[in-house]
Amino acid sequence: MSTLLSVDGLGITFGGLRAVHDVGFSLQPGEILSVIGPNGAGKTTLFNMISGIYHPGAGKVILDGQDVTAMRPDLLARRGMSRTFQNLQIFQNMTVLENAIAGYHLQETGSFMADLFSLPASRARARTAKDGAMELLARVGLDRAAETEAGNLSYGKLKRLEIARALALNPKVLLLDEPAAGCNAVETEEIDHMIAEVAKSGVGILLVEHDMKMVMRISNHIVVLDHGEKIAEGDPATVSQNPAVIAAYLRAEAGADAGAAHA
Ligand SMILES: Nc1ncnc2c1ncn2[C@@H]1O[C@H](COP(=O)(O)OP(=O)(O)OP(=O)(O)O)[C@@H](O)[C@H]1O
Ligand SMILES: [Mg+2]
């Protein structure tokens, strides 16, 4: 199988702090790869470099054999890389369908003049966007909530809507930053199931998630970061028994307890 995404020697420094240093891995089509590590380990920063939000200080990002290091997020999206954010980015007072259509429009390259005069081509595009958006909603199990105002959705459904929007770009690679954050056990399982289905269709998934049960359940491969460096990688069983990984989490927990005690 040909590698979909490879990340090589990626690093960035913020005012002397090495937030990420020399991190590399590769992702195959249909694979679910999780990046885990204690708070502040560098997971989101790594995602921000891969998705073109931060310019890496070192290293390369190769998508489908092409060097896309530091490419703008919208151009990356056109080449097949899509992402969600750790904080929800949903328009609360638009309907579920309107939110999905908003995601769909990002991939359109229709002529501005045609839209301005609402020519037939643009009207046809609007219809296609609506059909496409409805299909997406069905894919994430939200088709029956299409006319609901997004602000009235449960948190789990909001997270699914966010993933639907990222899927509108028809990505080859999907980056999900904490898709189950704030969700209860039932909602988390629904999101699990949905991510697995998306991967089955051949999309490579990069996941950052704190819910370890979910990570262990759905990942094919896990990369562990601590203080910006990769300290381990492998399948879930191997990684969860790795002494360096256990030590990193225990250290982080001890640090948090000490912080709480001083607060
Ligand atoms: N824009 C920035 N400027 C300065 N420092 C930053 C910036 N972004 C991240 N950092 C620092 O880089 C380190 C890694 O942060 P990052 O947000 O990537 O961690 P994380 O693994 O995603 O943590 P969490 O699990 O809490 O989301 C932290 O020390 C953080 O304070
Ligand atoms: Mg983060």
What is the CA(209)–ligand 2 centre distance, in A?
9
The verdict on the CB of residue 14 being under 6 Å from ligand 1 is: yes
Alpha carbon nearest to ligand 1 atom 6, residue: 14
- The domains of the chain, with CATH numbers, are 5-90+159-262 (3.40.50.300)
Alpha carbon nearest to ligand 1 atom 19, residue: 40
> Vertex 5, ends 175 and 166: CA angle to 5°?
25
CA distance 149 to 152: 6
Residue 210 has a CB neighbour count (10 Å cut-off) of: 14
The structure's pTM equals 0.87
What is residue 78's predicted lDDT score, i.e. its pLDDT? 86
pLDDT per residue rounded down to tens, the chain (263 residues): 689 999 999 999 999 999 999 999 999 999 999 999 999 999 999 999 999 999 999 999 999 999 999 998 888 988 999 988 766 678 889 999 998 888 776 545 444 444 545 555 566 666 678 888 999 899 889 999 999 999 999 988 998 998 888 888 789 999 999 988 889 999 999 999 999 999 999 999 999 998 889 999 999 999 999 999 999 999 999 999 999 999 998 888 887 777 666 65
CA distance 133 to 96: 10
What is residue 188's predicted lDDT score, i.e. its pLDDT? 93
Residue 88 has a CB neighbour count (10 Å cut-off) of: 15
The verdict on the CB of residue 19 being under 6 Å from ligand 1 is: yes
- Which ligand 1 atom is nearest residue 46's CA? 18
Alpha carbon nearest to ligand 1 atom 1, residue: 14
**Please, are residues 162 and 91 in contact by the beta-carbon 8 Å criterion?**
no
Ligand 2 ion: nearby residues, β-carbon < 5 Å: 43-44
